[in-house]
Structure 1
Amino acid sequence: MTALPAELPALPSWDTPVVAPSLVLAPGPVPVPIYADEVWSLAPLVANPSAARPGLDWSRFPAPLLPQVQLAAWMMINTPLPASVLVGHPTWHSRLGPAGIHQSVLRWQRFCVWLHRQEGGGLHAVTEEVCISWAGHLARQPGASRGNVTKDLVALTRLWAFDAAGPAPSGMAMPPWHRLGVDGFLPRTPSPRRGENSTEVISPATMGPLLIWALRVVDDFADDILAAWAESRRMADAAVRTPATPDSKARLKSFLQDLIDRGQPVPSRANAGYRHALANTYIAARASCPSTQINNLLRTEPWQHLLAYVDANPGPCPLATPITGRIDGEPWTVFIDFTETRELMRHLGTACFIVLAYLTGMRPAEVLGLQAGCCPEVTSGRHLIYGREFKNAFDEDGNHHSAGRLREVPWVAIPPVVRAIRVLESLVPADGLLFDAAAHTFVDIPTRSTASLRFTGLHSRIEAFAAWASGRARVLGRDGEVVPDDPHGPIGLARFRRTLAWHIARRPGGLVALAIQYGHMRTAVSGGYAARGRDGIHQLLDIETARATADTLTNLHDDLARGVGISGPAARRAIHAAAQAPTFAGSIRTHRQARDILGNPALTVYDNPRSLLMCVYNRERALCHRMDADDAPRLDRCRPSCANIARTDHHAAQLLQHAQALEKQAASETVPGPLADRLARRAVQLRALADRHEHDRIHRQEPTP
């Protein structure tokens, strides 16, 4: 049996703090619970502003087992796992974070409920045979995976270890897998691959409109929304502070009666019932009276008919703030309604998150951990974002550090990101979190908090933002900018980072604004911090670039096998590269595999659908580089005379289609003469390229018998 410390801690009393004072990381509104509490909040252990604050609920544990399990949990919170237990388990941590403690206790709960149903008594009745029965029970559950069963077995090992190291050991037997390993106790079915590299990217059809609207809200609509919010707060304050006098009551009557006499709609708001409700605050501010006088007026006999009139004639609550934001030169809205300002502020904050998460490559927790002042102004060069990382933040003992650590290398910020940060800094207290949970509720009196918005709350806000953006697109007749549902489900938060890498690596054609942003990000990522940053998005970008290369070569290999022709100065190099496609297709999962492919000069083939060609990259022959020393092609700088160009029959067909479209435009009577001439000349050039392909095309050489 593994040896455990001989000196045991003192038995806790009913008023013993659950978390020792030296371990409290986040003193605040949540008090440190005491041992007698039915729920032990772990909030004092959480310093990550976006992390959950879980609690241990003891009400569902069987009574015979509760005292022993509580004592083990108290030990797990306050003491490290004995060093002797860690022998032979190099990946284990001596201390778990709050989430790990919470999950472990939930797994203990399932074990205790199962044990109680077996009439097993307390932990003293847990023998090796009982442990083996528990492992078999877990493995037989529908959908049981090796990963989940492993976590359950390791959790039971921790229960044994902390029980044995505590002040009142129960005599529970050591689980046999701690000595023999867990493989023999796991289900046969392998666990599915999980993690960032297997996360589904957001569909381009969804991500394109979503980013367009996020950028519009941040760049073009933010000033209008902020001005409307300030005006709505001024009006709300006036409705509360204006004293109730006979004159104010007369002004209210005059305001309402004038609307009724002219048959005009009355400012109203949506009501949960069958009728519209008066917009009391807005009306009070407009009539210069306190809002309380409105309800009092409705109780009087002459005005009881007003509710029926409002229900038949509901009206908006337009604010007088000007609309400066434009879409193609036209205002994005006629006015901002008083009743929608809070919703618009939430959408503004959500748009800022989308811009930050997507156009930096930060993980969600890193975005939510940013503070005001994280992106100082610069007079020259790029803006840098100084923040914390949490995923790989460990203390000197190798345990996860809840507060994270400052990144050794800052993130690079392109202009839209800087703008989003400046907008957020205007919403939160100085030096506060950019996504301060209290400030982003947009209550009348925001207060600073130590927590940011939660993942679940932001998930809902993103879905609401997409729905709002789609509504605006339909109102403005821009059906192509409606945000469609993603085929892989909700957008969530974790998918932005992988999607950015996918888009940069794939270089999709289409909207120019998006292509420019991808180009900026490629430059920022590769030239800014990627080569020096630890665990940055550059690794994910390498994987996506390698996958894109593999897909290009696989498609080219299949096309050549079907007899598709290829032309261009780099045609034979492309054929040689495509011949190696079957050796690595579908096998790129790690950064090392990606670097092996990207480091092989014989495989550097990139499709460029925007230029209707394929780049078989050779640094010495490339015309896209002049002064820089980049080791990847600049697909936004393709030159027709470059020696790295190759085209297939598919590219030639696309050249002809594009030429036909240009010729059709040039023939239109609505197109000015000079523009028509340019379009016609471009069509001639494209047809010449297609003809050259037809003349020079070659096929893959048949293998020699």
Structure 2
Amino acid sequence: MTLALNARFATPAADAFVFDPDRAVEGRRGFVPRYGDDGWSLLALTQNPSQTDDIIRWRWFPEVFREPFRYASWTLINYPLPDRDVALRGAAMRSKLSVGRITRTVSDWSMFAQWLDERGIKQLSLVTAEDLSDYSRHLDKARGLARNTATSHLIALSRLHYYGRLYLPDTDRLVAPPWVADGMDDYLPAASPLGENVTEPIAPATMGPLLVWALRFVEEYADDILAAFEEHRRLVEIAEGLKGPFKKGSGRRLVTYLEQLEAEDKPVPALIRDTKISTPGVFLAGLTGTPIAKVHQVMNYPRWKAYKVQNPGRCLLDTPITAKLGGEPWHGPFDFHDVPGVLKHLVTACFIVLGYLTGMRTGENGAELHLMQHSAGFK
């Protein structure tokens, strides 16, 4: 059963979709909830890769308010507010909310519903303007909310009033909050002595050198790091492509490689962690074209097992180091196992530069970082 929008206060059937599956992002249609579900995920409505799947849980609401707020939330998801409402003094709202803000608004409504239930008010239409004034004081004195957080709660109730007037039945309509006409200042906690932002900005003495080195890291060292990562990826792809049953002589190239190292008295590539020395299966597989399982089998032969313990070395890539630091190469040959970590440093430097120079908000930065990581091939 698909969603059928109806603004005449008709509650959708329990098995109706909360929103039209055609609105869902491709690949996320399976997340579209049904109206009667105990929880609603809105993840299908966003393409933001950093958006968490914060599910609206109806157990948040006292039983007497559960269905009225379920329907109010349904209208919130499916209908925008007219421009005349969002432009009114004290509203400070948008006509349509993001997925994260919808979830936050419903959460704010649940706190209000719990407060009403504790006061013995069992119907939204019975709430008075004086009750709403009391609730604003409750947010400040009892809950101790910060000014910005309290503002979010009051805006959520303004939105509930406007949605009630347009879409909700008479019993579920909230009276106009007093701050709609009077403005919010008198209904909010005192402003922080530091101004709007409670968190202090990063000091210029810290941010300046950080930004300079992030820019330098990106501009001067990115080519070396990306070349190393391409080689790392090439070896991994070779190793992945060799999975399957062994072919006759599949270990011959590895043995030839080891015999050459032994003849030249060179160390054998190993994975060294503290005092533990183990076989770098993927690296040797990609380097010699030997299946990983066969690599471990050969390296467990007594001859090569002993040689590995006696002459362990790093898994160095042969990509060139071209950038300089103080006239010297800025980095030695990259170790195969260190490359993903070095690439993360590069992504972090890009993140710092983009975030600082564009002024992106936290959620946007998180999305950008996720996309950079995804394009680089790691999580």
Confirm or deny that 1:140 pairs with 2:136: no
What CA deviation, in whole Å up to 9, does each residue of 1:161-181 have, x standing for no partner?
Answer: 324543544345415425653
Residue in 2 that maps onto 1:231: 231
Task: Give 5+ residue unaligned stretches, structure 2.
Answer: 1-6
* 1:293 CA displacement: 1.3
Code of the residue aligned with 2:332 in structure 1: it is V
Other structure's SS at 2:276 match: coil
Code of the residue aligned with 1:278 in structure 2: it is T
Please give the alpha-carbon distance, in whole angstroms, between the structure 2 residues aligned to 1:117 and 1:125.
Answer: 14
Percent of aligned pairs with the same amino acid: 28
- Check conservation: 2:271, 2:278, Cα contact below 8 A: yes
Distance 1:179 1:229, change over 3 A: closer
- Check conservation: 2:14, 2:34, Cα contact below 8 A: yes
* 1:69 CA displacement: 1.1
Confirm or deny that 1:79 pairs with 2:100: no
Higher mean C-alpha displacement, 60-69 vs 115-124: 115-124
Confirm or deny that 1:316 pairs with 2:317: no
Rg bigger for which structure? 1
Equivalences, count: 364
TM normalised by structure 2 equals 0.76
* 1:140 CA displacement: 0.5
Residue in 2 that maps onto 1:351: 349
TM normalised by structure 1 equals 0.44
What CA deviation, in whole Å up to 9, does each residue of 1:32-70 have, x standing for no partner?
Answer: 4332344434345446x5773654421541351222212
Q: Which has the higher contact order (CA 8 A, sep 6+)?
A: 2
- Check conservation: 1:218, 1:348, Cα contact below 8 A: yes
- Check conservation: 1:81, 1:161, Cα contact below 8 A: yes
Residue in 1 that maps onto 2:28: 30
Residue in 2 that maps onto 1:289: 290
- Check conservation: 1:15, 1:35, Cα contact below 8 A: yes
Code of the residue aligned with 1:204 in structure 2: it is A
Please give the alpha-carbon distance, in whole angstroms, between the structure 1 residues aligned to 2:112 and 2:296.
Answer: 58
Code of the residue aligned with 2:325 in structure 1: it is I
Please give the alpha-carbon distance, in whole angstroms, between the structure 1 residues aligned to 2:106 and 2:324.
Answer: 54
Please give the alpha-carbon distance, in whole angstroms, between the structure 2 residues aligned to 1:343 and 1:9.
Answer: 55
* 1:317 CA displacement: 0.7
- Check conservation: 1:357, 1:363, Cα contact below 8 A: yes
- Check conservation: 1:62, 1:116, Cα contact below 8 A: no
What CA deviation, in whole Å up to 9, does each residue of 1:453-477 have, x standing for no partner?
Answer: xxxx9xxxxxxxxxxxxxxxxxxxx
Please give the alpha-carbon distance, in whole angstroms, between the structure 2 residues aligned to 1:366 and 1:205.
Answer: 19
Other structure's SS at 2:270 match: strand
* 1:323 CA displacement: 1.5
Residue in 1 that maps onto 2:254: 252
Please give the alpha-carbon distance, in whole angstroms, between the structure 2 residues aligned to 1:292 and 1:366.
Answer: 44
Please give the alpha-carbon distance, in whole angstroms, between the structure 1 residues aligned to 2:50 and 2:74.
Answer: 21
Query: Aligned runs of 1:624-643 on 2, under 5 Å?
Result: none
Other structure's SS at 1:94 match: coil
Distance 1:328 1:179, change over 3 A: closer
Please give the alpha-carbon distance, in whole angstroms, between the structure 2 residues aligned to 1:40 and 1:347.
Answer: 37
- Check conservation: 1:222, 1:348, Cα contact below 8 A: yes
Query: Aligned runs of 1:468-617 on 2, under 5 Å?
Result: none
Please give the alpha-carbon distance, in whole angstroms, between the structure 2 residues aligned to 1:365 and 1:349.
Answer: 18
* 1:279 CA displacement: 1.3
Distance 1:256 1:121, change over 3 A: farther
Distance 1:191 1:147, change over 3 A: farther
- Check conservation: 2:321, 2:329, Cα contact below 8 A: yes
Distance 1:252 1:174, change over 3 A: same
Distance 1:275 1:169, change over 3 A: farther
Please give the alpha-carbon distance, in whole angstroms, between the structure 1 residues aligned to 2:164 and 2:292.
Answer: 62
Distance 1:324 1:87, change over 3 A: closer
- Check conservation: 2:239, 2:285, Cα contact below 8 A: yes
Please give the alpha-carbon distance, in whole angstroms, between the structure 1 residues aligned to 2:207 and 2:151.
Answer: 37
Other structure's SS at 1:247 match: coil
CA-based RMSD: 4.1
Distance 1:304 1:96, change over 3 A: farther
* 1:19 CA displacement: 3.1
Query: Aligned runs of 1:380-529 on 2, under 5 Å?
Result: 436-437=371-372, 439-443=374-378
Distance 1:56 1:81, change over 3 A: farther
Please give the alpha-carbon distance, in whole angstroms, between the structure 2 residues aligned to 1:150 and 1:277.
Answer: 57
Query: Aligned runs of 1:202-221 on 2, under 5 Å?
Result: 202-208=203-209, 210-221=210-221
* 1:204 CA displacement: 2.8
Task: Give 5+ residue unaligned stretches, structure 1.
Answer: 1-6, 370-432, 444-456, 458-705
Residue in 2 that maps onto 1:40: 40
**Residue 268 (structure 1) aligned to one of 270, 273, 283:** 270
* 1:335 CA displacement: 0.4
- Check conservation: 1:19, 1:44, Cα contact below 8 A: no
Please give the alpha-carbon distance, in whole angstroms, between the structure 2 residues aligned to 1:50 and 1:240.
Answer: 27
What CA deviation, in whole Å up to 9, does each residue of 1:283-306 have, x standing for no partner?
Answer: 1233331112134456x6x55994
Other structure's SS at 2:40 match: strand
Please give the alpha-carbon distance, in whole angstroms, between the structure 2 residues aligned to 1:142 and 1:180.
Answer: 25
Code of the residue aligned with 1:194 in structure 2: it is E
Distance 1:185 1:9, change over 3 A: same
Other structure's SS at 2:163 match: helix
- Check conservation: 2:129, 2:177, Cα contact below 8 A: yes
* 1:319 CA displacement: 0.5
* 1:260 CA displacement: 7.4
- Check conservation: 2:109, 2:157, Cα contact below 8 A: yes
Structure with more helix by fraction: 2
Distance 1:334 1:305, change over 3 A: closer
Query: Aligned runs of 1:5-20 on 2, under 5 Å?
Result: 8-20=8-20
Residue in 1 that maps onto 2:358: 362
Distance 1:188 1:214, change over 3 A: closer
Residue in 2 that maps onto 1:52: 51
